[in-house]
Structure formats: structure tokens, C-alpha cells
Chains A and B, each alone.
Chain A
Amino acid sequence: MRRIEALVLLSTLSTGIFAAESSRPRGVSPEFAKFYKDTESFTCISNPSIKLKPEQINDEYCDCPDGSDEPGTAACTYLSSLSPPQPISSIGKPNTTLALPGFYCKNKGHIPSYIPHTYVNDGVCDYEFCCDGSDEWAGVGGTKCEDKCKEIGKEWKRLDDIRQKSARNAQKRRVELVNEAQALRAGVEIKIGRLEQEIKVQEGKAEELKKKYEEIERRERGRVVQTGGGKASKVTILAGLAKARVEELRESLVKVTGKRNALKEKVKELEAILSTFKEEYNPNFNDEGVKRAVKSWEDYAANKVEEDESAEDRDLEEISKPDTESEGINWAEWETEDEESDVDALYKFEEYLPTQVRSWVHQKLTDLRILLIENGILADNANSGTESKAVTDARSAFQTVNDDLGIKSSSLGDLRNDLEKDYGPDDIFRALKGTCVSKDSGEYEYELCWLDQTKQKSKKGGGHTGMGNFVRFDRMVVDEEVGADGKGLGKGERLVLVYENGQHCWNGPNRQTTVVLACAEKDEVWKVVEQEKCMYRMDVGTPAACEEGGKKEKGEKKDEL
């Protein structure tokens, strides 16, 4: 089953050369048939100086240093860089690179295939390569391998149809994903355009409001005392602000207390875990790390002082209660404005003047004041809190617009960054971001969230454990099985998502996950393995990893035998 690609390749090869079949020695493929045609003698394929008698082909003795005289036996298998070196039985400096890719199984009724020569006549029917059982032609030790090509072929065809269909669906889905991604991208671009427009408008507005505000403020600065407002309003403002502030602080306090309580629980839980750990750990078998951990725990436990926090808790509870008339601060008292005092009236001397004179005087005085202020002679009272409503309004109008502008600019920045960001080939992961797939495997349930994080959850209880946060795309050459259902990474270069800096591993590194992708119809985690302590690999199928137009994944090539 794992020879799918090889099979496909061979099937195309074999069709043209079908004619030569009958005359080929055992184990020779049509591709190499030409070397075995001579009926007078045989020439070692990669060592033309060595000529053999035809009966030396497949005579169970390896004569050619390239193994070409034994296409149908295992006699030349010792010729390998993986075997212990030995002087080769040949004169001169022979070419010892193996000339043949393997033993050729015709597999009539199915697809021809090569099987490694080391598998020939070893007593095992290797149907995954040789459905016709021809690898065990000698029947060593009574081995009989019946021809199963018909049923295997049929089953293969059935599965191949499914695979093909699935591959087509995968392609379709990929196209959909690309379109979705494009749409999302376009959406972002539109948003950017819109934002840019809005920002432009807002900028104009802000400019205008700023001017207005400055003008008003300039004018207001000259006023000695505002009409109305005054002290009383200062207090009310303060009260309002204070109230808001207190509310805010109170909310924070409630939140913090909650968090503290949760953490306390956690500490308790951890302490319980650690004391059990201390009880149960094996003083003789565990390593330095364990010993250190136990020691530190003992120290920690010894230094720990149990504090009575009930009083503090009661205080906190008291403070956390909302203010009412009877409890805390009665804001109502402070928020209502008092009557104007008589003293204030005295300052409004201008009101005693005739109207024209009054406005003239006022203008002059104001100008003078501004002049004095601008020359640093008189103190500026604009900041003294006695700001007029006009200034406040103007400023707040300006600030509102300006704030909005800030938000918009930053959104724009985000969107622009998002456009720049690597979403993989064809931007395709834009369509997947925010979605997750999970997989039940052994003791754990694993979850992969695209471009976000990987997690594991033990079935034996406990929370999620972060296995890493997405950091980047990568590529990796793999050589893995492909199941009959077409699931599996196969062989070649694959797209990889690298997740790093997950939860720290006890006595190990921070968890990390290498997510290796292969083309599939659906998003599916096929396999999760802990390759090293806390370093995981997920083999994942997704249409997002399919190559454009259904061409093979990069680096795809015939499986070497």
C-alpha cells in the first residue's frame, strides 16, 4: 500500500514495453530488459568489462560487482555500503553502485512494482510490493505465496477511486479556500480603503476642531472668572470623576480578589500535588532534577507561614460593596451643585456697567489679559480647573475625533500588517485562521488551531496543556507512510507550521509542536507523536497543503527501493 506513488510511476513506464516481457530473466523490469537480450553472453550493466555466461544470470551467485547478474535472487544483497566492507570478488576497481532498483514483480492484474532484493526468498510474502507472490519463487522453507493481485488490485482500485475522488475534492476545497482567502484579503483591502477614506475625513475634521478649540481656548484664557460654574462645579466635577474612579478601582479590586482566590486555590492544588510527589517519588531512581525539586519543595514547605487572612478578607469584602446612602460614600451629596455664593457675585463687576461699555471694557480687559499671559506676566488660569464649558466642549469634540482617528490609524496599521503577514502559499491559511481541528489519540485529545496554538488534554483529567504558539511557516523533507485511505505524509518536501514556547515541561524544555501538512480532503490530524520529551509532531491533512492544480507535492518522487 505504501508504494502507491511508485506503482503509479511504474504503470506508466510499463505500458510501452510490454512486448519484451516473456524473454526477460526473473526479476528484470521492462526498463532493464535490453541488458539481458544477448543470448551469447551477459555484460555487467555498470561494469562492461565483465562478461558472463548467460547461465550465470540468477544462478544465486553474485558475479557482477554492481549486482546486475542477479536480478531475481538475493545473492548480491551484501553489496551495500550498509554491510560490513569486504574485498569484492572482482579484478580491478569495479563500479559497485547497484545497477538495479530492485526485484521486478510483474503483478499481473495490478500494477508492477519493485521489491528490495533483500526481500527476495526470505520466506515472507510481501504482498504490499508483490501481490503476485513472485518474490518467494524459491519457496524456501515451504513458503507459498499465492497470487493475490486480483483481489489486491480490485481493492486498490476501489481505494484508488476513493483517493482520486478525495484528491479532486481536496483540490476543489483548496480552490474554495483560496477564494475564501482572497475574499478575506479583499475584505481587508476594502476595509483599508474605507479606513483611509475615513481617516482623511476625520483628519480634516480634527484639524478644524483643533483650530476651533484653540481659538476658544485662547479667548477663554482672558477671562478672569467664568460666568457660572466656578467653585461649586469644580467640586461636582471632582465628585463625578472621583466616583467614576472609585467605581473603577472597586471593580478592579473585585477582579483582583477573584483572581487572587483562584490563584490561592491553584497554589493549594499544587502544594497537594507536590506533597504527594514528595511522598511517592522514588528516592533511588529519579535523577538530580527530581532530587532538587523535592529539596526545594521541602524548603518551601518549611518556610511557609500560614497567615490568617480572614480579617483582611473581611475588609476587602466591605470595600467591595457598592456605595449607597448608608454605606461608603454618599455621592449624591456631592454631585448636586450648590447655590451661588454672594462672594462670587462681587467679582461680576462688569455686570454693573452699561452694556456697550461693558463689552468694550471686557474686550479690552481680555485682550490685555491675554497679552499679559502671553508675555508671561500674568498666570494662565486656563489650567486651573476653572475652564469654561465652551472650552471643555471644544476640546472634547476635538479629542473625540482625534481619538477616533488614533483608533482608525491603528486599525489601519493592523490591517496593513495583516496583508503583509505570511498566510502561506496563496494566502490560503487566511481562510483557516481561527478554526481548530482536534484528534483523539491514546491518552490525550490534541487540538490544532491554525496559526494560533496547539494543545493537549489528558483523558485522565487536568486542564489543557499548551503545546506551542504559532511562530512561522517552514518546509521539511519527510518520508512517511501513506495509508490505503490516502492518509499520511508520503515522501517529499512538506509545508510545516512551527509552534513554539508552549507550556514548560517538567524536567524538560518548553513544549513545541512541528505540524507537518499534507494534502487531504478535510482538515484532519492524522497522527501525533512525542518525538522527544515535550517535542511533538503532528501529521495533518488539509486541502490548504495541496499544490495548485493537483500537481504532486514538491519533491515528490518514486519511492526508492
Chain B
Amino acid sequence: MRPSSTLSNTWTALSIAALCLFTPAVSVKHENFKTCDQSGFCKRNRHYADKATGLGSQWEAPYRITPESLSWKNGQLQGTILKTINTAGETVNLPLTISFLESGSARVTIDEEKRQKGEIALRHDSKARKERYNEAEGWAIVGGLDLSKAATEERDDSRSIITYGPEGKFQAVVTFAPFGIDFKREETTQIKFNDRGLLNMEHWRPKVENPAPEVKEGEEAPPALPDAEDESTWWEETFGGNTDSKARGPESVALDISFPGYEHVFGIPEHAGSLSLKETRQSSGNHQDPYRLYNADVFEYIMDSPMTLYGAIPFMQAHKKDSTVGVFWLNAAETWIDVIKEKEAHNPLSLGIGSKTDTKTHWFSESGLIDVFVFLGPTAKEVTKAYGELTGYTQLPQEFSIAYHQCRWNYNTDEDVKDVDRKMSKHQIPYDVIWLDIEYTDDKQYFTWDPLQFPNPIGMLEQLDQSERKLVAIIDPHIKNKDGYHIVEELKKKDLAVHNKDGNIYEGWCWPGSSHWVDCFNPAAITWWKGLFKYDAFKGSMANLFIWNDMNEPSVFNGPETTMPKDNLHYGNWEHRDVHNINGMTFHNATYQAMLERKKGEVRRPFVLTRSFYAGSQRLGAMWTGDNQASWDHLAAGFPMIINNGIAGFPFAGADVGGFFGNPEKDLLTRWYQAGAFYPFFRGHAHIDTRRREPYLAGEPYTGIITQALRLRYALLPAWYTAFHEASVNGTPILRPHYFEYPADETGFAIDDQFFVGGTGLLAKPVVTENAESVDIYLPDDEIYYDYFNYEKYSGQGKVTVAAPLEKIPLLMQGGHIIPRKDRPRRSSGLMKWDPYTLVIVLGKSGSATGELYVDDGETFGYQQGAYIHRTFEFSNSVLESKNIATKGKLTDKYLKTMKTVGVEKVVIVGAPKEWAEKSSVKAGKEDARLEYHAEEGKNAAWAVVKAPKVLIGEDWKIEF
């Protein structure tokens, strides 16, 4: 690259070295979180895998279907798997259901008969349920479960073949002994279940007291007797001074899922690492532990790690040239996923291009069912759509919530908030939302205000409302255990809190000190919670106040791995172990429900930010990547994490701009704003011990550059909102990685530092390194790309170098697209509502372009009754046409009437043809409009502008050039 890069790298290395010397290793407390070795079932299943792998072809998986148990009905195959549990040949029954869904997805569910029937005994007089947890579906799945009518089954002695999916292109081949399933698409196997024989369902067994010595924490387990199973982690596990009573003994479930011919797998957020998942078992340079999903409040998390974070979506996509498939592991317990990749080189001559890589994954969860959905694509779009049919699509957000959020732990007083609000206006920096972290409360009691620091919350909210700005206040699930606090008193009286293993209200520590946790698995708790947010209940709240749910993993400061003991009991006496990863979503859900209608008749789209999440959380609001740090590597980590979250169905994601911990240097802060302008959820946030860093404090040139980045986001809000709309109807991610848009282009499969914004053709690669003067952007095709700001031309395919001095964001427009914008800067997005649009037509090689625009009121559910504008713009043969693609509803006409004044103020044509040089007007609708042509200048493309075409955004029209 550039000669200076060596220098800057050296400097970076030096400063890193210096940091290591002088700062006591600022990173996660690893000892607070389990490694696989410290997690009994993880260790057991890895050991199981090693044993099977070691034996190779000699390994006999002890699971088989009894053919006579099988029955086929209405797209569903049911039967029993027998698990042989000892050398004597004793078996246990595992009921199996394979469902083939109308959508083309398949679902495999395996349960345990004894547990279903409750024919087990629990130790320690536990009150926990006997069944395996079977209610995850109730939280995660909202539709798409209709069984396929077209699916057909054929069966012989050894296997059953089900043909299903679109035009019968999919097949599931169920092998009876040992049990296994191959999923095929057009004759080719895409996904294999139990191919490696790692299926493992630890059946219930009574504890047999044997003389094996107790293993104490920290001590090595005594070597297990050969052939005898190592029971040391079956009955009790101690970690961090906390003992898990495990009343049901060992009960983990595991399955190996292989993707033959697939080199890349993505998804299973949330981890701080690359988009393309790394191997976790073999060779150096890879992770040592499996990817872990066990929602936890991880303090100062580290980069490039399979370690668990705050949220979990057990949905994985595998991608190879022109094919994407996926699996969704519906289990709410602690889960680990091992990933290995095996190069197959059948033909030594075909090494390289022809060599095939298989990705093999191994999933194991501590308890619950085996319940897996299979998606056969063949495109990524189809996979995310099918996944979204099940778990729901992203909420169509309040429009303000995709604008800029100004947060800090903490704005100290109501006057402080008002002051920041005024200063943002004064510096002409747009923002929509200011946030309050925990300190606004009276003594950490949610639903109250500190009477001294926030004596007048309504006055504060009213000032914000003046310029259509909002406030977001934090409300967490821990309820302060303090006499006289009405919320905790009601919580206790109504018995709506999580219980400990003995059935008493669980008490732990969090921000308020001693606290209880509202149990949002309980419908009565949701009803109660909803009441707390009514304007007359939450005094000092009004319509422009929204909510932030933090600490909902749940975070418990004195709990094992900073969360709840696994033997805590939730509503219905499910153990916390069974439901842990869903817990955060249930709280988020309760708040979402509460925010729908805070005053009778006033139904609004809620905006609730969550830190913890699960599959389905996308329906409820936004997430952020938790407590990051003000460092360049954390800035760089943001995009892979956000992109990964997006392909896992939860695109409304962002990272704290500026970095939560620490003080960013001004160039880092500036670059972070430039990056943040491309986060679907765009919020600046800072820790209480950091210096103030509101954009106007940075000073010039930084404040000016940051303001430009913010205004860029605001100008492009119509495009962002359109992308959100698309995500809300078909699950297509908002930041789209290369493999998603260019599934045949192998060079792009692992790229995770550049991305497309929705369907706009905007290709962005924000700078995430220090002292960059340029970046290399990879162009996946031979289209023409134009610099967003000066129309400089680039052409693919391959890498191009784009200048990126501090004031510039590397942002290209791909030929062939039409981008809707609003260029007039206002104080907030709400005040842009009536402003006219600018349409940027980016002409491609073919000379044509298309684009889309979705508009609605941005806050109500009126769009569900047709109160919206949805249009396509097409430019071809020198005609630009706006066409309606909305479906008319009850409220359509009324809405369009309100939009009567909103038009297009200009149309910019980038890459305008030379012939237009002589043109001075075009026909726009019925009238003529002026056209101004600017010839190509050096590298910068020719462009033209249609001035004031006087066409309305909600109407059909043509502009003829």
C-alpha cells in the first residue's frame, strides 16, 4: 500500500506496546466466565465428539428409529428414536417429529418420553418442571408453522424420503439406523444431521451413589475409569463460588450439522469477531473454545473471540457459490457451537479452484429439546425471509429512532438535558433523541425521578418536543428491594418476581443494591408491567419519552457469570437454565407491550432498545453491542458485529459511537461518527467517568466534520427508512454483506468491513483505522461506481483506492440505482417531514436505473391500513417514471392528502449522457422544468440537475429527458 502505512503501523504497534506496559490489562475478567472445560455439558459433548472422531468408522451412534413407530400425516413425520444406553442394550424412547412447512422450511424436534410423561424424580425436592423446556417456540416463533400440503413421503426398511419445498425441489432423506437426515436441494445434499454421529440426548437417570470422590472447584477431576462415563459434572457444578444444584442431573442435547461443500458459515450472534465464523477446534490461528451463546453482561469484552456476549440468536447461514442455506437451533439454554472446516480434495489435480471445503458444526445445549429448523435457500434472501416468517421481521421503527441519538451516562439534571438540547440547535447539529441512563432515578428506583436533579421532567420533555425531539429513559428488570418503593411492594405482593430454587423470591445485587427481578415469562407480570408505563402511573412521562432496557441478560452482580443461578425458577416452574437466553427478550417484550398504548386510544409504535436479545427480538426494537471501548479495534469490530446481527434477522443494531469506556481522541471520535452514520441504530454514548464529548465540544475541524456525517445520515433518512421497511416485510438486512448481494463472487464472501446500504446501491467502507488517507474498496462487478460526494468514477471488478482524508467518508454509489434524499438540514427528523425530496439517479453502464421509496407518518400503525407511500422510480430510455407499488387501504387517501404539499425539489442525474449538454429543459409531468448540465471534469463524471420539477412524491409522474 502506501509507504506511510509501515510507519503508522509501527506507531500503532509501539503505542499498543506502551499501552500494555502502562495500563493494567484492560479486558474482560476471563475468570468470571466459563471456558468449555469449566462447563460440564460442553466438556462432555466435546469429549463425546473426540471419542466418536477417534473411533472413525468404528463409531456406532446409539440412536436409531424404529421403522414401525413412524407415521406420516399432513406434512409431518412422527416416530420414536431409540437410544441405546448401555451394553446390555437397554433403550430410552425419544419421540421424533419432522415437520415440513408450507414455506419450504423443515423442522426436526426430538424430545424424551419419560420427561414428557413426568416419569422422573427430581433431587433436592426440587419444584422444577419435569418436562424438557418446550415453550421456546411460544416466545420466538410467531408464524410460518403451517404444514405443507404438498409434501410427500416414501419409505422403505432403512429410510424415509420426503419430497417438499417449492416445486418439490427439496428432499429430506431420513436414515433409520443410525438416525440421520440429509437435506437435499435439487438432488444435492446441502445439510446433514448426525453425519458424524454426535447426536446426543442425555436421558434422565437416577443418581446412583457411587464412591467416586466429590470434585471440588479448581481441582482436576480424577481420571475416569476406562469405559465408565465421567460423572463428575452430572449432579452438581460449582463455578465462581456458586453451586448449581442440577436437580435433573445431566440433560444436555447435541447434534452435529454438516454443510458439505460450504466453506463459510455466518451468524449465531452475538460475538465480537469476524462475519465468517472461524474454526474452533483444529490448528492454530483459530478459536480454542466453541462459539458460546449464554447471554451475559461481559465487562470490557475482547476482540476476535467466540466468547459469549449479551444476546443470542442461534441461527446460522452457510454459503457457497450461488447457494445459501441455514439452520435455526431453537433452544433457550446455554449453547455452544463447534465449527470445523475440512478440505476435501478428491482429485489431487483439482487442488485450489476445484477443492471443496465442508463446514461441520456441532451444537450442544445444556437442557431442553432438540428443535432445529432447516432452510434450503437457495439465496440468502430466501433464507432470511423464511427465518423471518418464523421469528418475525424487524419492527418498522419509529422514524425518529433511525436518526441520531445523543446518550451519556449521565446527563445530570433536567437543566443539563435542556442545555445540551439548546447547544445542539445552536451549533446546527441535528439530533432526535437524548438519553438518560440510571442516574435520573430517585435512588435507582425505576419509574421515579431524582427530585433534586430532575425536579421538572415534564418541562424538560416539553422543551424537547418543541423541536420534535424525544427522550429515552432507562428502565431495567432489577427492582430495588427497599421498603416504601411502591413498585417492589407490588412486585412482591403480586408474586411476580423470579424465584430461587426453594421457591422464594430471588434476591440479588445490581445497580440499586439488593434487588428482585420481574419475571416477564409470567403473563400476569406483563399485564402489571404494562400498567406501570401509563402516563398517569409513570409520573413525569409523556408521549415523547421512550424506553431503554439494559441489564436484561439478566445481569446480577453477585450471580454466577454475573447472571442468575441456573436453578432459579421462573413462571411455570421452569428452571432458569431452560430459559436463560430468552429471558432478555421477555423483558423487552413486556416493555414493548407496555409502550404500545400508554393512554387509551393513543396507539404508537414503541421504541425500546435492548441489550440482551434472542431470535425474535427484532420484532420489539433495537439492540446495541453493549459496553465497547474507545479504541480503533472496537471501532473496527462494530461493522462485522452489526452485519452479522443483520443477517441473523435483527438488523436494527448499532455500537456506541465514540466507545463506551475511555476517552476517544478527536480523530477516533470523528471517524466513529462517520461510521455511526451507517449504523442502523446510531447512538453516541459514554461512560460516566469519561469526559464530555457531545459533537459541539470537539472543536474545529472535528465538530464540522462530525456535523457533516450527521447531516449525511439525515439527508439519507428516506433511503434508510425504505431499507427498514424492506427489512420489516421480508427480513432483508439493512447493511448487506457482499455474499448477500453477490452470491457467486467468492472474493467477497468473507468481506465484513464494507457493505451495501439496503437496496440503494450505496457501497460504504467507513474508515476504522488511525491515520488513514485512503481505503481500498472491493467492487464486486464491472458496474460504474461514483464517489458519493464529487461523482468521481471508479469501475470494477476488483479493488480501487478511494481517498479518505479525515473529512471524507469512503462512500460509493453503484450505477443503476436511484437514491431518495432530503437535503434540507433541520433540527430533527420530525421537522423534515414536509420537506421536498432530491432524487439522485446514478446511471449504470446500461444507462438505466431503478430505486424505491417508502414513506409513512413514521410513528403510528396507520401504515397497516394503507397510510403510506411506496413507489418505484425507474429511469430508462431517457424517461424517469414514478410508479405506485403500494396496496391501497382504508387510510390511504387520507394519508395522501396530508402529503399533498410534499414534492421533489430536484433530480440529479449522475453520469448524465453527453447529448444532454445542449438541453436546457425537460418535460416534468405537464410542465417544463429547467435542466442544467455539467460536463465531465477529469475523473469526475458528468452530471445534470432537473430544477424544481414540481412533481409530487405521492403521485405518478414522468420526467422526459
> Footprint of B on A, CB under 8 Å?
59-61, 63, 74-75, 77-78, 80-87, 89, 91, 116, 118-119, 121-124, 138, 140-142, 280, 282-285, 287-288, 442-443, 459, 479, 481, 507-508, 527, 529-533
Given contacts A285-B299, A508-B689, 18 further A-B contacts (CB under 8 A): A59-B948, A60-B905, A63-B947, A78-B823, A83-B715, A84-B712, A84-B788, A85-B708, A87-B934, A89-B932, A122-B835, A124-B831, A140-B901, A287-B661, A288-B23, A288-B26, A443-B453, A529-B412
Whether the Cβ atoms of A527 and B415 lie closer than 8 Å is: yes
Question: What 1/0 mask marks residues of chain B from 277 to 290 whose CB sits below 8 Å from any chain A CB?
Answer: 00000000000000
- B692 contacts chain A at the CB level, 8 A cutoff: yes
Whether the Cβ atoms of B428 and A116 lie closer than 8 Å is: yes
Whether the Cβ atoms of B711 and A141 lie closer than 8 Å is: no
Cα distance, A284 to B661, chains bound together (Å): 14
- B562 contacts chain A at the CB level, 8 A cutoff: yes
Q: Which B residues are in CB contact (< 8 Å) with A124?
A: 466-468, 831
Whether the Cβ atoms of A78 and B791 lie closer than 8 Å is: no
Of B29, B789, B791, B831, the contact of A123 (CB 8 Å cutoff): B831
Q: Which B residues are in CB contact (< 8 Å) with A59?
A: 948
Whether the Cβ atoms of A284 and B26 lie closer than 8 Å is: no
Whether the Cβ atoms of B906 and A87 lie closer than 8 Å is: no
Of A81, A138, A141, the contact of B833 (CB 8 Å cutoff): A141
Whether the Cβ atoms of A288 and B32 lie closer than 8 Å is: no
Nearest chain A CB to B876 CB, angstrom units:
24
Question: What 1/0 mask marks residues of chain B from 782 to 816 whose CB sits below 8 Å from any chain A CB?
Answer: 00000011110000000000000000000000000
Cα distance, A443 to B932, chains bound together (Å): 61
Whether the Cβ atoms of A82 and B708 lie closer than 8 Å is: yes
Whether the Cβ atoms of B707 and A122 lie closer than 8 Å is: no
Whether the Cβ atoms of A81 and B947 lie closer than 8 Å is: no
Whether the Cβ atoms of B513 and A280 lie closer than 8 Å is: yes
- Would you list the 9 A-B pairs with minimal beta carbon distance, nearest first? A140-B834, A61-B948, A122-B831, A78-B823, A84-B712, A82-B707, A443-B452, A442-B453, A442-B452
Cβ contacts A to B, 29 pairs, < 8 Å: A61-B905, A78-B824, A82-B708, A83-B715, A84-B708, A84-B711, A84-B715, A85-B708, A86-B823, A87-B790, A87-B934, A87-B940, A89-B906, A118-B824, A118-B826, A118-B827, A122-B834, A123-B834, A124-B466, A124-B467, A140-B901, A283-B557, A284-B32, A285-B557, A288-B26, A443-B452, A529-B412, A530-B412, A532-B691
Question: What 1/0 mask marks residues of chain B from 829 to 855 whose CB sits below 8 Å from any chain A CB?
Answer: 011111110000000000000000000
- B825 contacts chain A at the CB level, 8 A cutoff: yes
* Minimum CB distance partner of B297 in chain A: A284
* Minimum CB distance partner of B467 in chain A: A124
Cα distance, A116 to B827, chains bound together (Å): 11
- B422 contacts chain A at the CB level, 8 A cutoff: yes
Whether the Cβ atoms of A533 and B689 lie closer than 8 Å is: yes
User: Which residues of chain B from 239 to 266 have a CB within 8 Å of any chain A CB?
Assistant: none
Given contacts A86-B789, A443-B452, A479-B426, contact A121 B906 (CB under 8 A): no
- B413 contacts chain A at the CB level, 8 A cutoff: yes
Cα distance, A344 to B466, chains bound together (Å): 104
Cα distance, A138 to B825, chains bound together (Å): 18
Nearest chain A CB to B613 CB, angstrom units:
20
Cα distance, A81 to B706, chains bound together (Å): 11
* Minimum CB distance partner of B662 in chain A: A287
Whether the Cβ atoms of B789 and A84 lie closer than 8 Å is: yes
Nearest chain B CB to A417 CB, angstrom units:
38
Whether the Cβ atoms of B689 and A507 lie closer than 8 Å is: yes
| Most chain A beta-carbon neighbours within 10 Å: one of B825, B835, B947 | B825
User: Which residues of chain B from 409 to 435 have a CB within 8 Å of any chain A CB?
Assistant: 412-413, 415-416, 419, 422, 426, 428-429
Question: What 1/0 mask marks residues of chain B from 677 to 696 whose CB sits below 8 Å from any chain A CB?
Answer: 00000000000010110000
Whether the Cβ atoms of B834 and A118 lie closer than 8 Å is: no
Q: Which A residues are in CB contact (< 8 Å) with B466?
A: 124
Cα distance, A331 to B692, chains bound together (Å): 68
Cα distance, A458 to B518, chains bound together (Å): 33
Q: Which B residues are in CB contact (< 8 Å) with A75?
A: 824, 905
Cα distance, A81 to B687, chains bound together (Å): 31
User: Which residues of chain B from 451 to 468 have a CB within 8 Å of any chain A CB?
Assistant: 452-453, 455, 466-468
Q: Which B residues are in CB contact (< 8 Å) with A529?
A: 412, 415-416, 419
Cα distance, A442 to B948, chains bound together (Å): 53
Whether the Cβ atoms of A141 and B834 lie closer than 8 Å is: yes
Whether the Cβ atoms of A287 and B689 lie closer than 8 Å is: yes
Q: Which B residues are in CB contact (< 8 Å) with A85?
A: 708, 789-790
Whether the Cβ atoms of B948 and A83 lie closer than 8 Å is: no
- B347 contacts chain A at the CB level, 8 A cutoff: no
* Minimum CB distance partner of B427 in chain A: A82
Cα distance, A80 to B824, chains bound together (Å): 10
Of A63, A83, A288, A530, the contact of B823 (CB 8 Å cutoff): A83
- B151 contacts chain A at the CB level, 8 A cutoff: no
- B898 contacts chain A at the CB level, 8 A cutoff: yes
Of A63, A142, A282, A530, the contact of B557 (CB 8 Å cutoff): A282
* Minimum CB distance partner of A531 in chain B: B692
Question: What 1/0 mask marks residues of chain B from 58 to 94 whose CB sits below 8 Å from any chain A CB?
Answer: 0000000000000000000000000000000000000
- B943 contacts chain A at the CB level, 8 A cutoff: yes
- B531 contacts chain A at the CB level, 8 A cutoff: no
Given contacts A77-B824, A78-B824, A284-B32, contact A123 B833 (CB under 8 A): yes
Q: Which A residues are in CB contact (< 8 Å) with B472?
A: none
Whether the Cβ atoms of A121 and B692 lie closer than 8 Å is: no
Q: Which A residues are in CB contact (< 8 Å) with B213?
A: none
Q: Which A residues are in CB contact (< 8 Å) with B223?
A: none
Q: Which B residues are in CB contact (< 8 Å) with A86?
A: 789, 823
- B945 contacts chain A at the CB level, 8 A cutoff: yes
User: Which residues of chain B from 905 to 946 have a CB within 8 Å of any chain A CB?
Assistant: 905-906, 932, 934, 940, 943, 945
Whether the Cβ atoms of A81 and B906 lie closer than 8 Å is: no
Given contacts A140-B901, A443-B453, A529-B416, contact A83 B708 (CB under 8 A): yes
Q: Which A residues are in CB contact (< 8 Å) with B416?
A: 529
Q: Which B residues are in CB contact (< 8 Å) with A508?
A: 689
- B601 contacts chain A at the CB level, 8 A cutoff: no
* Minimum CB distance partner of B937 in chain A: A87
- B24 contacts chain A at the CB level, 8 A cutoff: yes
Question: What 1/0 mask marks residues of chain B from 355 to 382 whose CB sits below 8 Å from any chain A CB?
Answer: 0000000000000000000000000000
- B862 contacts chain A at the CB level, 8 A cutoff: no
Cα distance, A91 to B707, chains bound together (Å): 27
Whether the Cβ atoms of B836 and A138 lie closer than 8 Å is: no
Q: Which A residues are in CB contact (< 8 Å) with B708?
A: 82-85
Whether the Cβ atoms of B692 and A122 lie closer than 8 Å is: no
Question: What 1/0 mask marks residues of chain B from 702 to 742 whose CB sits below 8 Å from any chain A CB?
Answer: 00100111011001000000000000000000000000000
| Most chain B beta-carbon neighbours within 10 Å: one of A75, A91, A285 | A285
Whether the Cβ atoms of B689 and A89 lie closer than 8 Å is: no
Cα distance, A287 to B689, chains bound together (Å): 9
Of A60, A118, A142, A532, the contact of B825 (CB 8 Å cutoff): A118
Whether the Cβ atoms of B513 and A78 lie closer than 8 Å is: no
Whether the Cβ atoms of A78 and B24 lie closer than 8 Å is: no
Of B415, B791, B898, the contact of A141 (CB 8 Å cutoff): B898
Whether the Cβ atoms of A87 and B943 lie closer than 8 Å is: yes
User: Which residues of chain B from 1 to 50 have a CB within 8 Å of any chain A CB?
Assistant: 23-24, 26, 29, 32
* Minimum CB distance partner of A125 in chain B: B466
Given contacts A118-B428, A284-B557, contact A74 B835 (CB under 8 A): yes
* Minimum CB distance partner of B426 in chain A: A479
Q: Which B residues are in CB contact (< 8 Å) with A91?
A: 934
Whether the Cβ atoms of A122 and B704 lie closer than 8 Å is: no
Q: Which A residues are in CB contact (< 8 Å) with B689?
A: 287, 507-508, 533
Whether the Cβ atoms of A87 and B825 lie closer than 8 Å is: no
Of B422, B509, B711, B831, the contact of A481 (CB 8 Å cutoff): B422
Cα distance, A369 to B509, chains bound together (Å): 92
Cα distance, A92 to B948, chains bound together (Å): 21
Whether the Cβ atoms of A82 and B932 lie closer than 8 Å is: no
Nearest chain B CB to A175 CB, angstrom units:
33
Cα distance, A61 to B907, chains bound together (Å): 12
Cα distance, A481 to B463, chains bound together (Å): 15
Cα distance, A284 to B466, chains bound together (Å): 40
